[in-house]
Amino acid sequence: MSENEYDVVVIGGGPAGYPAAIRAAQNGLSVACIDEWKNHDGSRAFGGTCLNAGCIPSKALLESSELYHRAASEFSAHGIGLKDLEIDIAAMQGRKSGIVKQLTNGIKALFQSNGVTGLQGHGKLLADRQVEFTDADGNSSVLKANHVVIASGSVPVELPMAKFDGDRIVDSWGALDFEEVPQRLGVIGAGVIGLELGSVWQRLGADVVILEALDDFLFMVDAQIAKEAGRHFKKQGLDIRLGAKMTDAKVEDSGVIVTYEDAGGQQTLEVDKLIVAVGRRPFTDDLFGDGTGVTLDERGFVTVDEHCRTTADNVWAVGDVVRGPMLAHKGTEEGVMVADLIAGKVGEVNYDAIPSVIYTAPEIAWVGKTEAEVKESGAAYKVGTFPFAANGRAKGMEQTDGLVKLIAAEEDDELLGVHIVGPVAGELIAEAVLAMEFSASSEDLQRTVHAHPTLTEAIHEAALAADKRAIHSINKR
């Protein structure tokens, strides 16, 4: 092949694109990966939103803020006394930025070791699987590919009545870069991003009000788990107002005046900073030229089949730009699947066993169907629950909030869903994901030996409780 010809060109270097590029190269294919991410300081980086302005920096701040909160409110229970507890926001932000830089630089190293050509700039798909690449200086060239993988990701939704100004009204990225704790913080949207970012700054001392237009809290989460989580968030001081639809936001010298409507009529709220976290949309700006053959659905997502093939021959699309949950790990698995399929290997993603996690405290994690979804299907089922308050490891950690809920089919005992609110739920859910990947039953979990004392025993006990056989909790008949 000539210098500008590749077996595979990937447009997008986030958690869907860069794994696709690496796996394709591991499969012996020549690969180029184009990514146009640009940081606030103008520097370029691979990793997309996830590594630069999403998953990684938010988890770094969540960890720091949780440690501060625990030191202030919990350490005394352990017999640890602290005097003059302080938070250094600059140091916290510096740590976060250092972690981001290490990981994004790591992608460059991975590209180099796997033989992937990393190109930083804008990629645009043209007809006949040609890709126009425009570098940071505005110079353009055309790459030819046998296969093209679209992994352009997503961007925050901007509301017309609350335009981002980068200072008073910010998106999720801006909310990660506050240089001081806002005294009054408003958050629009009580979803994953809104809860996580609201938690960060509330733990550090902000008075946080979250406005959610829907009447149901965390509608996508099992209702019992959502209710349990909401109870703990309220105890922590998060003011979550449901059925509150924002109608306007005006920036004034004193702050942001937010107008919203709820069951009581029109209300106003004054805050110093306003985070708008009402969702994300697929990023397809200037992504397609004429005659590509790629189609978009009514919501702007690239149309694909179950194996991420688009409507154009040998053009694929993965991650946030296609249907399904906007989760980094879902995109990663799609990218790897596509790279294997291109190489003539077996590739598959089990969309029924993709976990979701909300990294609040307590964490919320789930996989499979909610109880409402199972009930709606008409299938007979059974439920087992177990509280962390009855788990010895959780007590030793002073982390007893929450529970594990397991749902299994009545007929054949196959696991249908596992839902957790509690300590490190995001780690615990992996056992349930693996079990569901192998179509395990609740009995399989019952017969699996769990080390003692561990938090995983709560999953074991929930499985036992599904058959009224729990050892460490009362089995309700």
CA distance 443 to 270: 53
pTM value is: 0.96
**Phi/psi at 118 (5° precision):** -95, 125
Same domain, residue pair 116 and 59: yes
Q: Which domain holds residue 31?
A: 5-155+281-349
**Known catalytic membership, residue 452:** yes
- pLDDT at position 373 over 90: yes
Residues 30, 135, single domain; the answer is yes
| Domain contains 162 | no
**Residue 407, CA distances (Å) to 83, 297, 370, 472, 475 in order:** 46, 34, 8, 19, 16
Query: pLDDT (tens digit, 9 = 90+) per residue, 67-90?
Result: 999 999 999 999 999 888 999 999
**What's the confidence (pLDDT) of residue 83?**
85
pLDDT at 340 over 60: yes
Domain count, the chain: 3
Q: Are both 199 and 308 inside the same structural domain? A: no
Instruction: Name the catalytic one among 147, 419, 452, 472.
Output: 452
Q: Based on the fold, state whether residues 90 and 121 are members of the same structural domain.
A: yes
Question: Can you name the residues that pair with 268 across neighbouring β-strands?
Answer: 259
pLDDT for residue 1: 57
The pLDDT tens digits for 26-51 are: 999 999 999 999 999 999 999 999 99
Residue 113 sits in the same domain as residue 23: yes
pLDDT at residue 180 tops 90: yes
Question: Which percentage of the chain shows pLDDT scores above 70?
Answer: 100
pLDDT tens digits for range 91-142: 999 999 999 999 999 999 999 999 999 999 999 999 999 999 999 899 999 9
- Does one domain contain both 434 and 461? yes
| Cα–Cα distances in angstroms (integers) from residue 348 to residues 15, 272, 334, 382, in the given order | 17, 47, 8, 30
In a domain, 119, yes or no: yes
Asked if the structure places residue 387 within a domain, the reply is yes
Considering the domain architecture, whether residues 9 and 140 belong to the same structural domain is answered as: yes
Q: Please state, rounded to an integer, the average pLDDT across all residues of the chain.
A: 97
The answer on 364 and 406 residing in a single domain is: yes
Give dist(CA 352, CA 349) in Å, integer: 9
**Percent share of the chain, pLDDT over 90:** 98
Contact by Cβ (8 Å): 328, 322: no
Residue 312 lies in a domain: yes
Q: Quick one: 101 and 31 in the same domain?
A: yes
Strand runs (DSSP E) across 223-298, as ranges? 239-242, 245-252, 255-262, 265-271, 273-276, 280-282
Q: Are residues 147 and 132 in the same domain?
A: yes
| Chain segment 259-318, per-residue pLDDT in tens | 999 999 999 999 999 999 999 999 999 999 999 999 999 999 999 999 999 999 999 999
User: Same structural domain for residues 32 and 118?
Assistant: yes
Residue 421 falls inside a structural domain = yes
Spatial CA neighbour of 416 closest among 454, 373, 357 = 373
Residue 131: Cβ within 10 Å count: 23
pLDDT at residue 2 in the model: 62
Region 244-260 average pLDDT: 97
Q: In angstroms, rounded to a whole number, what is the distance separating the alpha carbons of residues 248 and 162?
A: 7
Predicted pLDDT of residue 120? 97
Binned at pLDDT 50, 70 and 90, residue 200 comes out as: very high
46 and 88 share a domain?
A: yes
CA of residue 468 relative to chain centroid, distance = 34
Burial (CB < 10 A; 0-12, 13-18, 19+), residue 313, is exposed
According to DSSP, the β-strands at 5-11 and 363-368 are: unpaired
Domain assignment present for 399: yes
